[in-house]
Structure 1
């Protein structure tokens, strides 16, 4: 692969527009740009989670499996961003969605059924996985907004949905493998009780 960027700043976006790979100029708050930004934010948060998982593996060797499953997701999110930037480009396929579903099923079997709502926390890693999960939901919402204006491929939307599910189960698996109790939601007392 050759050089892609020889200059980081171009000054072409100073007036509030940016260019898409197909040559179109759109406002920086266009739904496509918003979707691309949310996917980029998710990818960045996932990078933090992966770095922290790598650091924690010495103390909790069982966390290595999570890194093995989640690391390829960063590459697929980059592909997904490419699909958003170049609508004719298609990178994600049903096989990648099936890979996530397989991991969800395996991990969910280990953690068991969810008996109550849980809060994001218990350890830094658990909270980071929940941050990634909520960022995946935000990216999914932005892509659904774009889909209402410019239809997206089903694989792209399904991937984000499955990834958020995977990250939820990953947070539960981290808790289990770190031997940290999940923080169960406690409903507020009803007024007057």
Structure 2
């Protein structure tokens, strides 16, 4: 494969537009660009998470695979009408989610992000993923999208939640349970 970028700055975006992979240009604040950017941000956050998983090679490998999927997903948004993410991706996420959720106790309380650094980074990735899903839903209201892509982000946020729970409980750790504040007057 040859080099794709010989020059980093092109000046073509100075007018507030950006080029899609199909050669068309759209505003940098368009929902499609927001979807691409949020998926990129999620991929970056998962890259940070991986750096905290040096003692968790199975989870690190899982997250690397997800990074490749996310790069494909960003490419899908860069080429309107393309379909890269499919039902097989969603089925893989669901079976992976079932595997990691199998040994977790049922939730009886809401949990707060934290418990350990790796769990906190995983929760941040989950929150970014949820934002990405919201952007993709909005994009779907104004343009055609691959429905599998939206479903992928929905399942991925579930998987990230479960992995955060797994990480928080590693080595005798605990999840941080939410303690609701009583209504004013009952304190």
Q: What TM-score bracket applies, with the shorter chain setting the length?
A: over 0.9
For structure 2, the residue ranges without an aligned partner over 5 or more in a row are none
How far off its partner does 1:103 sit? 1.4
Residue correspondences, number: 186
1:82-161 superposed matches below 5 A:
82-161=75-154
1:24 CA displacement: 1.7
CA drift of 1:88 comes to 3.5
| Cα distance in 2, alignment partners of residues 87 and 16 from structure 1 | 19
CA distance in 2, matches of 1:9, 1:45: 25
SS of the counterpart of 1:111?
coil
Listed as ranges, the gaps of 5+ residues in structure 1 are 58-62
Render the CA deviation track for 1:115-152: whole Å, top value 9, x for unaligned. Answer: 11000011111100000000000111111111110021
What TM-score does the superposition give when structure 2 sets the normalisation length? 0.96
Matched, 1:171 2:164: yes
Q: Indicate the residue corresponding to 1:191 in structure 2.
A: 184
Cα deviation for residue 99 of structure 1 reads 1.2
CA–CA separation in structure 2 for the residues paired with 1:151 and 1:178: 46
Moved over 4 A (4+): none
8 A contact 1:130–1:167 mirrored in 2: yes
Cα RMSD (Å) of the superposition? Answer: 1.1
